[in-house]
Amino acid sequence: MAALNNFAIILAIFIDTIHVMGMLSTARMPEFWILRDLAGVHLHVILTPATFFFAVMSFNQHTTTEDVVKASLARSEGRTFVLTGTSENTIGGATAIAFAHGKLKIIFLTGRTSHKSVSVIKEIKSIDRNIDVVFVSLDLTDQESVRSCAKEILETGKAEKIHGLINCAGVTSTMPYSTTKQSIEMQ
């Protein structure tokens, strides 16, 4: 985990407000708060002000995944989260493992291939064997895969509601310019 100290943390948390295939509230989307460290650290935390899931916190270049998660653990118990980009030795994997200390009900881990998340799943289960850990295949560069992932999560019947979506998936560079098969620009 210490290796993650120098990485920027990118979390996009849309709590109780995202409408995904009928699973979540269809209430209007509130404006999102975007907190950014103006010292040049690329730290983006997007919070829904209506839920106050996290207290307003201050992060900097020394902030770790564990620091962010620890600030929210007290309110995580019994909740269901979906995390993207949860391969081993990634910010997503470290976030999933850190959230295991929060006594979540269900963690849906997503990624392109399940074998890269096996060690993350084992670590979560070693922390709390009562957490239901489900891997769902997801390629965020393919809209069909995104829809399929949402449908698969819905069809598991395990989650009445998704309390949090933490987007950690990403690529570091898409040079030269490229698009997805649906002609969406890769960033």
Of 73-77, 96-100, 106-110, 142-146, which gets the smallest average pLDDT? 73-77
Which pLDDT value is given to residue 57?
Answer: 57
Which pLDDT value is given to residue 126?
Answer: 96
List phi, psi (to 5°) of 93.
-65, -45
CA atoms within 13 A of residue 17's CA, in its CB half-sphere: 17
Nearest to 86 by CA among 23, 8, 169: 169
Average of pLDDT values for 54-79? 72
- Return the top range by mean pLDDT from 53-57, 72-76, 142-146: 142-146
Which pLDDT value is given to residue 177?
Answer: 74
Nearest to 149 by CA among 93, 83, 100, 89: 83
Q: Beta-strand (E) ranges in 72-152? A: 80-84, 106-111, 132-137
Domain ranges within the chain, ordered by starting residue:
2-167
Average of pLDDT values for 30-54? 35
What confidence tens digit (pLDDT) does each residue in 112-143 have?
889 999 999 999 999 999 999 999 999 888 88
Q: Coil, helix or strand for 63?
A: coil
Q: Return all residues near 59 (Cβ < 8 A) that are at least 6 apart.
A: 9, 35, 37, 41, 43, 45, 67, 68
Which pLDDT value is given to residue 107?
Answer: 94
Which pLDDT value is given to residue 58?
Answer: 67
| Per-residue confidence band for 172, with pLDDT thresholds at 50, 70 and 90 | low
